[in-house]
């Protein structure tokens, strides 16, 4: 991969638990650029509270405000790979900035495949804790329509994170 032609930050979007962080780290390693995760930066900003603690103590809106601020700042920093929390793209300002200034990579998955991951995700994702599976499926579909605005899409149902990273390199070339 020609580093010079990839002058932009790469941003990973997609639903909770699809592998944005895992694939993002692989891509960052191979490009030899820093990797950042918006959730991790938010946790640091809240003195290492967990995300469920932030939601329960300050509410979702406080989380979203910090999320927006964090992402807008990170995009303006050096070239990097940035993995976004699954809800970040709901915010218009985040969406616009990422689409204008970065390469947006959507890690897609069918709901059937995603459901198999659900048991591993619930304890760390407050939004999943208060919803029925039918409500989660609705959220999945609503989010998917926002993720439709992207530059590169990879369907991750039947491939490993390494294979997803490989497909991304091929699209970038
Ligand atoms: C959220 C996704 C999470 C995290 C928070 C809210 C969402 O990130 O930001 O729990 O609204 O979809 P992941 O996509 O990394 O799970």
Q: ipTM of this model? A: 0.97
Angle between helix 161-172 and 20-31 (nearest 10)? 50
Report if residue 157 sits inside a domain: yes
pLDDT (mean) for 83-97: 97
Cβ 150 vs Cβ 13: under 8 Å: yes
User: What total of structural domains would you count in the chain?
Assistant: 1
Q: For residue range 53-81, what is the model confidence (pLDDT) as tens digits? A: 999 999 999 999 999 999 999 998 888 99
Q: Is 52 in the pocket of ligand 1 (CB under 6 A)?
A: no
If you average pLDDT over every residue of the chain, what do you get? 94
Provide DSSP, 43-94: HHHTTT--HHHHHHHH-HHHHHHHHHHHHHHHHTSSS-EEEPPTTGGGSHHH
Q: Is 39 in the pocket of ligand 1 (CB under 6 A)?
A: yes
CA of 85 to the centre of ligand 1 (A): 4
Mutating to test ligand 1, I would choose from 42, 87, 94 the residue with most ligand atoms within 8 A of its C-beta, which is: 87
Q: Specify the 3-state DSSP secondary structure of 26.
A: helix
CATH code for the domain in which residue 15 is found: 3.40.50.300
Give the position, in ligand 1's atom list, of the atom nearest the Cα of 125.
Answer: 10
Report if residue 99 sits inside a domain: yes
Report if residue 4 sits inside a domain: no
Per-residue pLDDT band at 4 (split at 50, 70, 90)? very low
CA of 7 to the centre of ligand 1 (A): 27
Q: Is 87 in the pocket of ligand 1 (CB under 6 A)?
A: yes
Report if residue 100 sits inside a domain: yes
Q: Specify the 3-state DSSP secondary structure of 35.
A: strand
CA of 146 to the centre of ligand 1 (A): 15
Q: Is 94 in the pocket of ligand 1 (CB under 6 A)?
A: no
CA of 172 to the centre of ligand 1 (A): 26
Domain extent at residue 149: 9-172
Report if residue 50 sits inside a domain: yes
Mutating to test ligand 1, I would choose from 12, 63, 127 the residue with most ligand atoms within 8 A of its C-beta, which is: 127
Cβ 63 vs Cβ 55: under 8 Å: yes
Min mean pLDDT across 4-8, 27-31, 42-46, 48-52 is at 4-8
Task: Give the Cα separation of 106 and 160 in Å (integer).
Answer: 15
Indicate whether 3 pLDDT > 70: no
Strands 152-155 and 102-108, bridge-based pairing: parallel
Tell me the pTM.
0.94
Task: Give the Cα separation of 149 and 152 in Å (integer).
Answer: 9
């Amino acid at each position: 991969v020609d580093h010079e032609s990839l002058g932009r930050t790469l941003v990973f979007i997609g639903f909770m638990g699809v592998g944005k962080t895992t694939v993002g780290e692989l891509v960052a390693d191979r490009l030899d650029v820093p990797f950042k995760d918006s959730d991790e930066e938010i946790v640091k900003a809240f003195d290492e509270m967990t995300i469920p603690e932030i939601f329960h103590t300050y509410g979702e809106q406080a989380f979203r405000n910090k999320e927006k601020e964090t992402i807008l700042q990170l995009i303006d920093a050096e070239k990097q790979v940035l993995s976004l929390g699954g809800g970040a793209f709901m915010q218009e300002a985040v969406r616009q900035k990422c689409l204008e200034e970065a390469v947006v990579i959507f890690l897609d998955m069918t709901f059937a495949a995603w459901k198999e991951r659900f048991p591993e995700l619930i304890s760390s994702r407050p939004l999943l804790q208060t919803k029925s599976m039918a409500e989660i499926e609705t959220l999945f579909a609503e989010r998917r329509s926002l993720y439709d605005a992207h530059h590169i899409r990879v369907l991750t149902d039947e491939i490993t994170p390494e294979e997803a990273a490989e497909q991304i390199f091929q699209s970038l070339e």
